[in-house]
Amino acid sequence: MNNQLSFNQKYAAIGNQNTNYEGVFITAVKTTGIFCRPSCRARKPNIENVEFYDNVQQAMQNGFRPCKLCKPMQTMDATPEYIKTIIKELHANPYLRIKDQDLKDQGLEPSHIRRWFKKHHNMTFQSYQRMLRINAAFTSIKKGETITHSAFDSGFESLSGFNDSYKTIFGDSASQSKDKAIINIVRFTSPLGPMFACASSQGVCLMDFTDRKILEAEFKDLCKRLNAVILPGSNPHLDLVQKQMAEYFNGTRKSFSVPLHYPSTEFRESVWTELQNIPYGQTRSYKQQAEAMGNLKAVRAVAAANGQNRINILIPCHRVIGSDGSLTGYGGGLHRKKWLLDFEKSHIKS
């Protein structure tokens, strides 16, 4: 691969609080004896005092200790355990209504909870709870329960309040949107940054990094194709994909058995299906991918379809490179593509 970052490129990347290089390298400062993430917000050290390592293990082996500010030993943007507990309680009982006083009784600061949900789910904590209740009510209505019964049973204090919330999410009243489907969404962390995973009743239909600018467009396209809305909620496919992704990043899983659901054009679906035939730790060129599909004239179309892949890693578009062996476009960023390829190759060798 000829996309290795130079020393000067790495030095230019630090001090900007840019998370794009998370997992790509570690910054060590000789004068202080500490090592940091590339995105650490501490003052940028002088260039002559800097050394770069590939990972925290190398930095520690050379006598450096972790920075207390950016905490490079921890997974970046990991969900705190107290947040995990709250989310687990809400998913187990979507009708539960957790108020500020309930949080204070548990020794938690409500403002901290609100800030976390706003930052990582782009909604308030109360909105998150309300969407879970709407999800439960929608499921109840789909099973034949009356709208009134479902509204009050899901914790809404008035039918008008339920109808207003329902229309905000679905765009129609409960009586007019029974044919809509639900796509459930979950946020989880990885060594390369936090990710979103979405699943329909048929399987995982989206998995991408939360910092992708194209995410909103992907959500809209998916909802349009499936006539669905995206809501937080329990889904067995999401439970399975989180388990298997943890195993993948631990180096113990090299293939996935998670059901996938990727509605699109017939050509794109064929491209994404072929991508799944590329073995763990190996790469293919776009030309080789087009040849495997029996259409050598479709190299550019294949490359475009790879770029439109909504299910990262499970559909391994990161394993496709240029004919000259160079890293080419990857929606999650070339730094992540390189990390994934190096990671897989190191575990094949081991």
Q: Which residues participate in catalysis according to the annotation?
A: 317
Residue 302: which of 315, 314, 290 has the closest Cα?
A: 290
Residues 64, 68: Cα–Cα separation, whole Å: 12
96, 333, 3: which is closest to 195 by C-alpha?
333
Number of H helices, E strands in the chain: 14, 10
Give residue 262's Cα distance to chain centre. Answer: 16
Helix axes 110-121, 81-92, angle to 10 degrees: 80
Tokens of 311: 């299910």
Question: Which of 166, 173, 184 shows the shortest CA–CA distance to 230?
Answer: 184
Amino acid identity, residue 6? S
The 3-state DSSP composition of the chain as helix, strand, coil percent (nearest 5) reads: 45, 10, 40
